[in-house]
A and B are shown apart, each in its own frame.
Chain A
Amino acid sequence: QVQLQESGPGLVKPSETLSLTCAVSGYSISSGFYWGWIRQPPGNGLEWIGSIYHSGSTYYNPSLKSRVTISVDTSKNQFSLNLSSVTAADTAVYYCARQPGYSSGWHAFDIWGQGTMVTVFS
């Protein structure tokens, strides 16, 4: 079955760049779907960060757009998140997830990774 697995440093210093990777197994990213990042600060709700298509087309939350870069590596069947100039407010569990595309008629996130906790800490 399709599985997503996030990986990356659990601690990041303020002003530095947070970098995470989501490895996809059981499905080829190049075959379709969109792939997204969502985060959840401790004890709080969910925030969409952005999504990417296998072609490299990206879509970002306007509130984070100036600091976010999402990229895809189809040869490794993975996609990545970079969030620059982090502060304590970026401390959260970061999830990657799959998102059906336009032809499906619906675009909720149907498969999620287990999430990875990232703490911004000096």
Chain B
Amino acid sequence: EIVMTQSPATLSVSPGEGATLSCRASQSVSSNLAWYQQKPGQAPRLLIYGASTRATGIPARFSGSGSGTEFTLTISSLQSEDFAVYYCQQYNNWPPSMYTFGQGTKLEIK
């Protein structure tokens, strides 16, 4: 099983500032990495797939980078609606097999 480790667990940032969230895989997942945003009481929302491709309708202030085992989600100029929990997920196997998620990073208002 590929273990996904996110850091930090909680990140406190002021609105208007930028935020960098990290995700590490226990073994290479190439670029088969997605990022999701989840707000309380809501389903996760796909932000990034293929490590760096924004999903439909996702603002340009969200960007993803990395490959192999190290990945980063960067949010520039945080808006109030960006404060949420963010999860990374690897989908390295095809057909579907043992997809795993990170434990999440809570982005909170400082």
Interface residues of B in 23-44 (CB under 8 A from A): 32, 34, 36, 42-44
Interface residues of A in 68-122 (CB under 8 A from B): 95, 97, 99, 102, 105-115
Having A45-B103, A106-B34, A110-B55, one finds 17 other A-B pairs with CB under 8 Å, namely A34-B96, A36-B96, A45-B102, A46-B36, A46-B101, A48-B101, A51-B96, A59-B97, A61-B98, A97-B43, A99-B96, A105-B50, A107-B96, A108-B91, A109-B36, A109-B46, A111-B46
Q: Could you give 24 example pairs across A and B, Cβ below 8 Å?
A: A34-B96, A36-B96, A45-B103, A46-B89, A47-B101, A48-B96, A48-B98, A50-B96, A57-B95, A59-B95, A59-B96, A61-B98, A61-B99, A62-B98, A106-B53, A107-B32, A107-B91, A108-B46, A109-B34, A110-B49, A110-B55, A112-B43, A112-B46, A114-B43
